[in-house]
A and B are shown apart, each in its own frame.
Chain A
Amino acid sequence: MEDVGDKLKVNARTKALSVTEMESMAKKLRRHIVTMIGKAGSGHPGGSLSAVEIVTTLYFRVLRHNPQDPQWPDRDRFILSKGHAAPVLYATLAECGYIPVDELSTLRQLNSRLQGHTDSTLTPGIEMSAGSLGQGLSFSLGVAIAARLNSQQHTVYVLLGDGECDEGQVWEAAMAAAHFKLDNLVAIVDRNQQQIDGWTCDVMELEPFSNKWQSFGWHVIEVDGHDFAQLIEAFERAKSVKGQPAVIIAHTTKGKGVSFMENNPDFHGKAPNAEQVELALKELQ
């Protein structure tokens, strides 16, 4: 009989990176993001850049996954609910080896596997087709319930945008996750404070945000979403929570890492031009 523990080790092929290595990986991912969106001529740089440290920590430190076997049944799941942040996930999947790094330059082009928003039928490693906001948490509940029904040990991680939390379905799902006591579910909210029409507090006030999740029955952890040490610790704590789901509210900066994109709602859904790409890449050396 094959030992389950061994199988997990064998299958968790991605080498865990140190914080220093993750810092350099984050820069590399940011360069990919800016370059690929610039080449595509359209896309959403702001919300990809804000989530870089979150996604880096997950793929290079937290998730048990195997790029050679994207359908491995016992893999931890990462579900990107804010589907417009597809570039940060594509870049990460490429650096992990799910897809060739060269392929990133095909983003949003005809016949590319890298669609404008994530498509689970096309891209290895993409768990859910997303793009219409507010649906990923519900989907993640289904995945977490299935894991429990199958007595599987993996954890389901789902990344939401803060603006996305305007959607009522998010709160339907939040209520249900606590009701079903899904302690194999960890949500992360990329709290970058901005959405298309401006600051979240001006468009639709989310505060008291942490209290909302708490009152819906979640264990809430708040961190600086660009600080690897805090993120690593938050994921460890989230995983140890029993009897309820956990949410990590990750305070981030939209457009992080590129000075002229930071906190600039123009770059929610606008591609940088060639000159801006060059400027950005200089900053990201």
Chain B
Amino acid sequence: MDQVASLREAYGKTLLELGKENPDIVVLDADLCRSTMTYHFSGEFPDRAFDCGIAEQNMVGIAAGLAASGKVPFASTFAVFVPGRCFDQIRMSIAQPGLNVKLVSTHGGITVGEDGTSHQSIEDLALACALPGFTVIVPADAIETAQAVRFAASNYGPFYIRLCRPALPLIYDDNYRFELGKAVVLRQGTDATISAIGVMVTAALEAADNLKREGIDCRVLNMSTLKPVDEAAIVKAAMDTGAIVTAEEHLENGGLGSIVARVVARNHPVPLDFVAIKDTYAISGKPAQLLERYGLTSRDIERAVHGVIKKKSGSLLF
């Protein structure tokens, strides 16, 4: 996993390709097209790119109107602003009528780093997953990003795709085929399952490798589609491995952990633990420092795996 690649750049370049294939694709920004990397598209198709200025609520409404008229709008900004700042606009103008708007936000999570709390989106997945009819995807690398964006472009309905700021190690190669609502088994294992999204997929793989050396055999799932979630893969993991740890760069409330817990509780209760940001905001710092401080490293995952395995084997004791 030496090679790293930018998810945002994959997004921008995929938009450019899609723009050539489909004249109905239009792109909206809110004064951040160089950060979201949609400028790849706007440079080639200036007539189909609309910078709405620093006015995200208006951008979301314009996107809804374009979609109602048959266009396929991709609207992008930072994840704190969409969905956070525009939740009601997304709810009323896009989700309720189920319009074909693609919201692709960048700079999700705390790996935004030095910009600090105001720019670290740690609630966006809870907000997006709460919207009836929305599809929510958190790609784990640049290759998955390109394919998820391509999938969103050709499938009707509202999408939220969350990307992070830093470039991430490539997990997939060009043979990968993104399937909506399908968890990808990155490692087979029988002792416990680590279910991860986004930035945390790499950490999950590292944790699995380290645990393997201790003789603990972990299954690793990339749960990139948060909604609709792959319930079958979660239930199978619970049945096959008897313990699950989730890992996400998001608050513990309302993200991957909550979703997995719901599916497990309803179908096949097993010990669970959640590697996520506890009920707090983060601070400025380098991404790696912040991941460490808020408990989002491979070591945190390993600790959690030890914990759930202990509960599993000592089930009479707790």
Question: Measuring CB to CB, which residues of chain A are less than 8 angstroms from any residue of chain B?
Answer: 119-121, 127-132, 135-147, 149-150, 168-169, 172-173, 175-176, 179-180
Q: In the bound complex, how far is the Cα of B65 from the Cα of A31, in angstroms?
A: 32
A120-B68, A145-B66 known; A176-B53 Cβ under 8 A: yes
Identify the interface centre among A120, A131, A149: most chain B CB within 10 Å of its CB: A149
**B residues in contact with A179, CB < 8 Å:** 53
- B228 in the interface, Cβ–Cβ < 8 Å? no
A138 B92 Cβ-Cβ under 8 A: no
Interface footprint category on B: 20 to 34
- Shortest A9–chain B CB gap in Å is 23
Docked CA distance A176–B96 (Å)? 24
Query: Residue-by-residue, is B91-106 near A (CB-CB < 8 Å gives 1, otherwise 0)?
Result: 1110011100000000
Q: State whether A138 and B65 are in contact (beta carbons under 8 Å apart), knowing that A145-B50, A176-B52 are contacts in the complex.
A: yes
Stretch at the interface among B54-62, B216-224, B239-247, B248-256: B54-62
B63 contacts chain A at the CB level, 8 A cutoff: yes
Q: How far is the CB of B86 from chain A (nearest CB, A)?
A: 9
A139 touches B61 (CB 8 A): yes
**Complex contact B97–A142 (CB within 8 A):** no
The CA-CA distance from A135 to B68 in the complex, in Å, is 14
B58 touches A146 (CB 8 A): no
* Bound CA span A139–B92, Å: 11
Minimum C-beta distance from A116 to chain B (A)? 13
Q: A145 — nearest CB in chain B belongs to which residue?
A: B66
Structural contact, B62 and A138, CB atoms closer than 8 A: yes
Q: Can you list 7 contacts pairing A with B, beta carbon distance less than 8 Å? A: A128-B97, A130-B92, A132-B91, A135-B92, A145-B62, A169-B89, A176-B58
Q: Is the CB of A138 within 8 A of B60?
A: yes
Q: How far is the CA of A128 from the CA of B64 in the complex (A)?
A: 9
Q: Is the CB–CB distance between B55 and A146 below 8 Å? A: no
Report the minimal beta-carbon distance from A164 to chain B, rounded to whole angstroms.
Answer: 13
Chain B residues with CB under 8 Å of A143's CB are 65-66, 68-69
